[in-house]
Structure 1
Amino acid sequence: MSYNYNNNNNNYDNSAYQQQQGQGYAAPPPQQQYGGYYDNNQYQPPQHQPPPPQSYQYQQQQPETYYPPPPPPADGSGYSAGDFKGAKQYNRTPKFRDLWAALLFIAHLALYIVMAALFIRSLPSSAFKNSGNLNFTKDFYSWPTMIMWLIVLLTSIVFSVIYLGVLQMFAGQMLVISFWFSVVAMIGTGIYYLAAKIWFAGGIMLIFGIFYALMWFSWRRRIPFSKLVLETVCHITRKFPSIIVVSLLFLILQAGYSAMWSLSLAGSYKYMAKYQSCSTLTDRNGRQYQSCSNVKQILAWVYMVFSFYWTSSVILNVLHTSISGTFATFYFFEGAPGGYPTKHVMLSSLKRALTNSFGSICFGSLIVAIIQTVRAVLNSLRNQGGDNFGAEILICCIDCILGCIEGLVEFFNKYAYVEIAIYGKPFMQAGKDTWTLIKDRGVDVLINDCMIGNVLQMGAFLCAAVVALVAWLYITITKPEYNNSGSYTVPIIIAAFVIAMSMFMVLLKCIDSGAATTFVCLAEDPEVMARNNPRLFALVRETYPQVVRGVHARDYY
């Protein structure tokens, strides 16, 4: 039986299967040797057979026929063959998932735009005029400062593109370099702390650096697998250059939004000053003093911080979901007789992320934004807490707990968005199904053993360091009048460092998203990898045989 795809009407030619099932879905895969999905949406226990020998060669057993992925769920929710344009069909009628979250995000963004327009209009007009002299300016928000931030943005983009190119050419070498770079960074930081007589922090960093170096003997076995995954991801990004183009567009979008947000924050000081109220109080010594407060300004700042976190997270996660949809399409359709179901794979995936799945993306981003906003408020309270040591310890403990929760949620969300990109599920269901699938397949071991994150972290740090140096050189050479005392130097360097690191991660999202999608797709249907990437499949089968033996006594749907 053959399965051909017609690009004109976006429907599979699976009439024989439709006659048996009465549905328009693609046929399920055949019975697998090590257990898996079967017909009629029923899961059969895996056949208890011994694992393949270590000398297994996939090339001798390569399947001759393309088999579509497992059947759709019984609840009849999700995308259809014509609307999904991806690997699996989850329903014949696409639906807008978590619509309430999308509407709430749009309403919140509209309110922020109104606030930003009012705040930016309150800035002095001289701030946007070019005086022709870079150092003659008394205001931080001025034309020379905008030129500096433009240089910061351009440097970040250029460095990120260069690093991505180097990563494409020297994948394996970058894995080794990134490991030892982390070792040198930790030991160097420890030596610096000791030289600054910060004994405790210096000792801790040195101990961690030494132990990390000793872990090389156990971690080096991960390099062949990580290298092959990285090479696979880089190959797909070269095959679909639109991934890089869309990433650059989202990078520009994030940079423009950040610039508007910073200008609105600066304008809020002047605009909200009219709401300040002051009262005269008397201390215990009988001396009078003025106490001023501006509750509306504080609320406006909290809302702006929340809006920044939520909007930035939505921008990044829309890009992540779009890239994941592209990688999933490659995974399931590469080498299939009918080819790809759409001519513009990345654009189709982006369309789904901005329409049917947009609410689910907003929902997941909202959870992270709330946690980040609470942490920002706690840090502000801690900085203004004065000498209240007990309160500072309590705030520090709460912030630490929230930081751990934030890390878990972000890890959880990354793989949930992959399931959303493949199926179009609601956010909560996607997260639950993905996590259960990964755990039962044993793919969590692959995720832990993959060292791609080290390469990205090293690149982000190097990019941030280079851009921070450029910002320091600019402000040192131009010597603006507002920085005569040097009070702006450190904040500018820190801001440039953070901006460059965030921009690097946006552009290199194609690598991180590609690896995450590969792992989820492998958990969904490992046999497909045997067709489109036999080298990686053979390595996974030899090193992690539990991943390709089938799901153990569980039906996810």
Structure 2
Amino acid sequence: MSYYHNDNSNNYYPPPPQQQQYGNSGNGGSYYQPPPPQQQQQPFYQQQQQQPFYQPPPPVTNNTYYPPPPPPPSQQQQQQQQLDFGAFDGDFKGAKQYNRAPKFRDLWAALLFLAHFALFVVMAVLFVKALPSSAFKYSGQLQHTKNFYSWPTMIMWLCVLLSSIVFSVLYLLFMQMFAGQMLVISFWFSVVVMIGTGAYYLAAKIWFAGALMVIFGIFYALMWFSWRHRIPFSKLVLQTVCRITRQFPSTMVISLAFLVIQTAYSALWSLAFAGSFKYMEKYQSCSLHTDRNGRQYQSCSNPKEILAWIYMVFSFYWTSSVILNVLHTTISGTFATYYFFEGAPGGYPTKHVTLSSLKRSTTNSFGSICFGSLIVALIQTVRAILRAIRGQGDDSIVVQLIACCVDCILGCIEGLVRFFNKYAYIEVAIYGKPFTQAARDTWSLIKDRGVDALINDCLIGNVLQMGAFLCAAVVALVAWLYITITKPEYNSTGSYTAPIILSAFIIAMSMFMVLLKCIDSGAATTFVCLAEDPEALQRNNPELYRMVRETYPHVVHGVRDNNSY
């Protein structure tokens, strides 16, 4: 498959005068090369009107002065011109705006992240060494396993991971083959899940939650009559994104690679967190106290252990966010390259589109990714601390109420930050902007051009949510079958069954969303690029452009003069 498309049937070059022939095609006909870029600013016929073709030469006298010709451009000027316009020809707006000479942005955030990760690695090594030496010994029989941290348990988690990958890939294939049907099925699947959950709560005599879920399910079903007009647009967007993923299968490969990285990091973090309990015991200090009744009791505290746990939680949030956002920025760069360069006269600026995007995400734009991820990680860490405070039953009702209110406010702020970060990273991927400027431009993009209308009307998120739920349910069933068939000794009382099923459910849902990040990021990038340069969509996808122009005419105006920095 070639990434170069130098023929463009949409570009029209008017013929020059008959006296100006640039070559011969060899078959008796004249071959006219297209005029250079600077001549495309005025049509040929306008040039004839402004300057007559038969213009008499000026009279030659002894006083006539002819200025010397301009000097040829230097090598530095030629390199700068190639850098600015590279592989593009003509008046291609999007290509000229595309990030051609990237710079390192938000370098301080990248250095801070690397320093923080180095400290985490040191702590992880110390904590993992503190685990019991018999933790990973295999007795030879799956059922004779007294320790949860053992090879049979690792085999179970391996089955969970493989099941998640297989289901995610199959679901992606179904999305590509049955895009329209999946949109309808996902909508009614959400209705069934809401009403089914409400019925379960009512059967369990949880009246308020059950009634609320049933009402939401009925209301969601009634929304079908006002939302069904969105299906053609969502179907076309989903088909477009799936078609691009087929054209660039490296997006799926890079998603799978980042899934392996995220899984390996999560496994290391889990082992380190488990070992921290044993390692930090030596820092615990206990003292005897006497209550009002004269009875003595022992009180123990370990502030160093609490600080270590807070740092571990913060590190997990920050590192996981960086991994996912690097993947998101890489895929966004690939889709933006397709959007701006597909069908352009000069073809793609590079042969390896996804690899070049990954290089920019892990070098020039890595600091911006770390900066945005740091904001989300700090909010998540504070919320985790508040949830821990709420989980302690000995606190007063006032503390519980304050913690609940602050957690709710931070949850809303986190949702907004995640939303803006998602589209800010697309600006980073396209133009190589620093994070703060990308965030400001994202706000301008959504506020001034009405991109939020496209985002709200697109139902692709329903398809992904349904797939994530189905994947999590299937993988949780696999984990339950494994632990039921093997019957390990540590689960003789069944105390581990519910935590294992819940963990498998969460892991599978997370893996599904990572693997299908190419769909979510591709749709978001399409919306941003559409607002930035609608003319490019008219060239590479006329059908989608026509639908957007008819349904969202305010978006087609594009964002102008907001990309210089």
Between the aligned partners of 1:536 and 1:101, the Cα distance in structure 2 is: 39
Q: Aligned pair 1:338/2:362, yes or no? A: no
Does the CA-based 8 Å contact 2:475-2:508 persist in structure 1? yes
Give 2:105's aligned amino acid. R
| Residue equivalent to 1:399 | 407
Aligned residues: 494
Q: Aligned pair 1:69/2:93, yes or no? A: yes
* Aligned residues: CA RMSD: 2.3
SS at match of 2:288: strand
| Residue equivalent to 1:102 | 110
Does the CA-based 8 Å contact 1:416-1:427 persist in structure 2? yes
Does the CA-based 8 Å contact 1:438-1:523 persist in structure 2? no
Residues 150-197 of structure 1: CA deviation (Å, up to 9, x unaligned): 111111111111111111111111111111111111111111111111
| Residue equivalent to 1:149 | 157
Give 2:97's aligned amino acid. K
Name which of 53, 68, 88 aligns with 2:97: 88
Range 511-520 or range 382-391, more displaced: 382-391
SS at match of 2:297: strand
Between the aligned partners of 1:66 and 1:547, the Cα distance in structure 2 is: 24
Between the aligned partners of 1:294 and 1:247, the Cα distance in structure 2 is: 41
Q: 1:491 to 1:386 in 2, by over 3 A?
A: farther
Aligned positions of 1:348-359 closer than 5 A: 348-359=356-367
**1:140 Cα deviation after fit:** 1.4
Aligned positions of 1:387-466 closer than 5 A: 388-466=396-474
| Residue equivalent to 1:478 | 486
Q: Aligned pair 1:302/2:310, yes or no? A: yes
Name which of 505, 508, 519 aligns with 2:527: 519
**1:438 Cα deviation after fit:** 2.9
Give 2:134's aligned amino acid. S
| Residue equivalent to 2:198 | 190
| Residue equivalent to 1:74 | none
Give 1:68's aligned amino acid. F
| Residue equivalent to 1:508 | 516
SS at match of 1:406: helix
| Residue equivalent to 2:137 | 129
Does the CA-based 8 Å contact 2:449-2:559 persist in structure 1? yes
Between the aligned partners of 1:231 and 1:251, the Cα distance in structure 2 is: 24
Q: Which runs of 5+ in 1 are unaligned?
A: 6-12, 28-64, 71-85
| Residue equivalent to 1:173 | 181
Residues 123-163 of structure 1: CA deviation (Å, up to 9, x unaligned): 12222222211122222111111111111111111111111
| Residue equivalent to 2:267 | 259
Between the aligned partners of 1:91 and 1:150, the Cα distance in structure 2 is: 42
Give 1:539's aligned amino acid. M
Between the aligned partners of 2:343 and 2:90, the Cα distance in structure 1 is: 8
Q: 1:292 to 1:448 in 2, by over 3 A?
A: same
Does the CA-based 8 Å contact 1:334-1:340 persist in structure 2? yes
SS at match of 1:182: helix
Does the CA-based 8 Å contact 2:259-2:511 persist in structure 1? yes
Residues 258-291 of structure 1: CA deviation (Å, up to 9, x unaligned): 1111111111111111111111111121111111
Q: Aligned pair 1:225/2:233, yes or no? A: yes
SS at match of 1:356: coil
| Residue equivalent to 1:54 | none
| Residue equivalent to 1:114 | 122
Range 380-389 or range 286-295, more displaced: 380-389
Between the aligned partners of 1:282 and 1:320, the Cα distance in structure 2 is: 57
Between the aligned partners of 1:500 and 1:4, the Cα distance in structure 2 is: 43
Does the CA-based 8 Å contact 1:26-1:68 persist in structure 2? no
**1:393 Cα deviation after fit:** 2.2
Between the aligned partners of 1:449 and 1:467, the Cα distance in structure 2 is: 31
Between the aligned partners of 1:134 and 1:556, the Cα distance in structure 2 is: 60
Q: Aligned pair 1:275/2:283, yes or no? A: yes
Q: Which runs of 4+ in 1 moved over 6 A?
A: 15-19
**1:14 Cα deviation after fit:** 5.7
Name which of 533, 541, 555 aligns with 1:547: 555
Give 1:334's aligned amino acid. E
| Residue equivalent to 1:329 | 337
**1:390 Cα deviation after fit:** 2.8
**1:111 Cα deviation after fit:** 0.3
Does the CA-based 8 Å contact 1:467-1:497 persist in structure 2? yes
Between the aligned partners of 1:548 and 1:511, the Cα distance in structure 2 is: 23
Q: Aligned pair 1:238/2:243, yes or no? A: no
Q: Aligned pair 1:210/2:234, yes or no? A: no
**1:474 Cα deviation after fit:** 1.3
**1:387 Cα deviation after fit:** 6.1
Residues 191-228 of structure 1: CA deviation (Å, up to 9, x unaligned): 11111111111111111111100000000010000000
Between the aligned partners of 1:4 and 1:14, the Cα distance in structure 2 is: 16
TM-score where L is the length of structure 1: 0.85
Does the CA-based 8 Å contact 2:428-2:435 persist in structure 1? yes
Name which of 498, 502, 506 aligns with 2:506: 498
Between the aligned partners of 1:550 and 1:504, the Cα distance in structure 2 is: 34
Q: 1:555 to 1:468 in 2, by over 3 A?
A: closer
Between the aligned partners of 2:462 and 2:228, the Cα distance in structure 1 is: 13
Range 451-460 or range 132-141, more displaced: 132-141
Give 1:343's aligned amino acid. K
Give 1:144's aligned amino acid. P
Does the CA-based 8 Å contact 2:532-2:558 persist in structure 1? no
**1:15 Cα deviation after fit:** 7.5
Give 2:502's aligned amino acid. I
Between the aligned partners of 1:441 and 1:550, the Cα distance in structure 2 is: 7
SS at match of 1:546: coil
SS at match of 1:292: strand
SS at match of 1:124: coil
Give 2:407's aligned amino acid. D
Q: 1:463 to 1:246 in 2, by over 3 A?
A: same
Give 2:92's aligned amino acid. P
| Residue equivalent to 1:32 | none
| Residue equivalent to 1:369 | 377
TM-score where L is the length of structure 2: 0.84
Does the CA-based 8 Å contact 1:186-1:208 persist in structure 2? yes
Between the aligned partners of 2:250 and 2:435, the Cα distance in structure 1 is: 26
Does the CA-based 8 Å contact 1:87-1:422 persist in structure 2? no
Does the CA-based 8 Å contact 1:437-1:556 persist in structure 2? no
Structure possessing the higher radius of gyration over alpha carbons? 2
Give 2:255's aligned amino acid. S
